[in-house]
Amino acid sequence: MAYPQRVPTARILEKLDEHFARNDAPAAKRHLLYWLAEAEALGDRQGQLLLCNELMGLFRKQGDEPQATAYALRALDLTDALDIGDTVGAATTFLNAATVHKAFGRAADALPLYARAKAIYERDLDPADQRLGGLYNNMALALVDEGRFDEADRCYRQALAVMRKSPPEMAITYLNMASAAEQQDGLEQADGKIAAYLRLAAEQLDAAADRTDGDYAFACEKCATVFGYYGHFAYENELKERCRRIYERP
């Protein structure tokens, strides 16, 4: 019996990580589109699903709404075609597609997809699995957009419980909580909460300051903007410098 050919997903993801570690988005895009074409030529729908997930994330980060949305919808279609809608892999696609909707102002469309992912993740993953933390964090952002602050706070606290061993992710969550407090109560009224969350975020980032990986650089880059927004310009510059040193290392 002849089995369908598959693209080499492990090698594809390894090379993709190298591009992201150098902050080389154009190379990452070329890499993903090349292998998507290969997966299409081979009829490898599982490979196409993986690549569409990566492409929607890449275009989301670049702010390209049409492309990110197109790959999100295509990934959801592939999930249906493969009849894997009750699996962890499908839940990851639901999460990624929901995050695309949220990023472009469609929180109401994102929440049902987050809910589908949450039901599967909570059933099938270990409670300490970092994927759960990412889900709770992203779902909370959508809940804040919809003004559902109490539900969002519960999700953020669930995220923190899962992410105890990942200081950069905890820092991002604390900063999200600061932004949620501002949206709920206003900048002046929430000043004390915001200051506390900023302090906790800085403690987490500093605890991991010896890291030189791309994930830490991304966290520093993302957090720097928030610290700058709240007037912590010296710390904003420090985080940008940490990020620069990682991306420019030999």
**Residue 202: how many CB atoms within 10 A of its CB?**
19
How many structural domains comprise the chain? Answer: 1
Q: Is there a domain that residue 165 lies in?
A: no
Evaluate whether residue 67 is within a structural domain. Answer: yes
Residue 29 falls inside a structural domain: yes
Per-residue pLDDT of 104-118, as tens digits, reads 999 999 999 999 999
126 part of a folded domain: no
* Close Cβ partners of 206 (under 8 Å, ≥ 6 residues apart): none
Distance CA 3, CA 44 (A): 11
pLDDT at residue 4 tops 80: no
Task: Using pLDDT thresholds of 50, 70 and 90, give the confidence band for residue 214.
Answer: confident
Q: What is the pLDDT of residue 248?
A: 84
Which residue range(s) make up the domain with 83? 9-106
On whether residue 65 sits in a domain, the answer given is: yes
Q: What is the mean pLDDT of the chain?
A: 95
Rounded CA separation 172/59 (Å): 21
Q: pLDDT digit string (tens) for 180-199? A: 999 999 999 999 999 999 99
CA angle 65, 89, 154 (to 5 degrees): 75
Residue 247, domain member (yes or no):
no
User: Is residue 190 a part of any domain in this protein?
Assistant: no
Residue 57 has pLDDT above 90, yes or no: yes
Per-residue pLDDT at 1? 44
pLDDT at residue 13 is higher than 50: yes
242-249's contacts with Cβ under 8 Å and 24+ in sequence apart are 242/209, 242/216, 242/217, 243/217, 243/218, 245/212, 246/212, 246/213, 246/214, 246/216, 246/217, 246/220, 247/21, 247/22, 247/23, 247/217, 249/212
Please give the C-alpha separations between residue 184 and each of 148, 149, 153, 191, in angstroms, as whole numbers. Answer: 9, 7, 11, 12
Query: Could you tell me if 47 and 11 are in contact, meaning their C-beta atoms sit under 8 angstroms apart?
Result: no
Residue pair 97/76 in contact by the 8 Å Cβ criterion: yes
- pLDDT one-digit tens code per residue, 73-122: 999 999 999 999 999 999 999 999 999 999 999 999 999 999 999 999 99
53 or 165, higher pLDDT: 53
Indicate the pTM of the whole model: 0.87
Mean pLDDT for 50-68 is 97
Q: Look at residue 132 and tell me if it is in a domain.
A: no
Looking at residue 51, which CATH number applies to its domain?
1.25.40
State the pLDDT confidence band at 21, using cuts at 50, 70 and 90.
Answer: confident
Q: What does the pLDDT look like over 145-164, one tens digit per residue? A: 999 999 999 999 999 999 99
Q: Is residue 2 predicted with pLDDT exceeding 60?
A: no
Average pLDDT on 215-243 reads 95
Contact 168, 219 (CB under 8 A): yes
